[in-house]
Amino acid sequence: MKRKVGILISGRGSNMAALIAAARNPDYPAEIACVLSNRPAAPGLSLADKAGIATIGLDHNDHASRESFDEAMNAALIASGVDLVACAGFMRLMSDAFVNAWAGRMINIHPSILPLFKGVDTHDRALEAGMRVHGCSVHFTTPELDAGPIIAQAVVPVLPGDDAKTLAARVLTAEHRLYPAALGLVASDKAVLAGNRVRLEASIDEAQRLWSPDLE
């Protein structure tokens, strides 16, 4: 039985598109049940619609409080039969009650090697810090922003002459590979929340280790 995933977005939805593409593989352990956006005009929502996925536009401005919006979001996800939630550029803080209701069943992608550079402007901050490598992380969500247990990470080099735009593009390419892989691990119970860590049952291919600069 495939796990049913609800994807939460706010914008262009390129990670969402990567998850939808991965889920087209008959061997993938999850199917995308719906895509929900707090911005009904989000370009990602029309992308999902064109891909034949059920879409839900739920404007947070129509709700008097965060809690009331989150309750509506929760009801919509449950009505769609969702049992896993994947946040993909969902630019909205979520209430503790919502996050706790989905504990161990909701994941997020963040454009940095966590726990470095939580929050926004991660690429500028990585450059400012003189990082040689940068990357992205997929983690279980917890009430504290970008602080949940890490499922998987990908690393890219920071190259001479990079600016935030070129670096963001390199990280995004890694995101599009990492997120489907990480969701696949969770959907097949190969990555399981165990306290404040993630127990990983998948074997790690040593050839996939990344070094930058490559000195070998």
Q: Is 88 in the site for ligand GRF (CB under 6 A)?
A: yes
Which span sits near ligand GRF by CB under 6 A: 4-12, 58-66, 75-83, 124-132?
4-12
CA distances from 124 to 132, 162, 163 (A): 13, 10, 8
Task: Report the nearest approach of ligand GRF to the CB of residue 117 (Å).
Answer: 11
Rule CB under 6 A: is residue 151 a binding residue for ligand GRF?
no
User: How many CA atoms lie less than 13 Å away from 16 in the CB half-sphere?
Assistant: 32
Cβ-based nearer residue to ligand GRF, 75 or 181: 181
- Asked whether position 12 contacts ligand GRF by CB under 6 A, the answer is yes
Catalytic site residue from 110, 123, 134, 176: 110
Nearer to ligand GRF, 9 or 77 (CB): 9
Map the footprint of ligand GRF across residues 124-143, applying CB under 6 A.
Answer: 136
Size of the site for ligand GRF (CB under 6 A): 16
Question: Closest residue to ligand GRF, Cβ-based?
Answer: 89
Range in contact with ligand GRF (rule: CB under 6 A) among 10-18, 24-32, 76-84, 202-210: 10-18
How far is residue 67's CA from residue 99's CA, in Å, rounded to a whole number?
11
Is residue 11 within the footprint of ligand GRF (CB under 6 A)? yes
107 φ/ψ angles, rounded to the nearest 5 degrees: -130, 165
Active site residue 60: no
**Cα dihedral 99, 105, 111, 112 sign:** positive
Residues 6+ apart with CB under 8 A from 198: 140, 149, 150, 151, 191, 192
Distances, alpha carbon 99 to alpha carbons 17, 33, 176, in Å: 24, 19, 24
Rule CB under 6 A: say whether 15 interacts with ligand GRF: yes
Residue 100 CB neighbours (<10 A): 13
CB of 67 to ligand GRF, least distance (A): 23
User: Are 35 and 112 in contact, with CB atoms under 8 Å apart?
Assistant: no
Q: Could you tell me if residue 135 is left (phi over 0), alpha (psi between -120 and 50 degrees) or otherwise beta?
A: left
Would you please indicate which residues are annotated as catalytic (active-site) residues?
110
What residues make contact with ligand GRF under the rule CB under 6 A? 9, 11-16, 44, 88-89, 109-111, 136, 172, 175
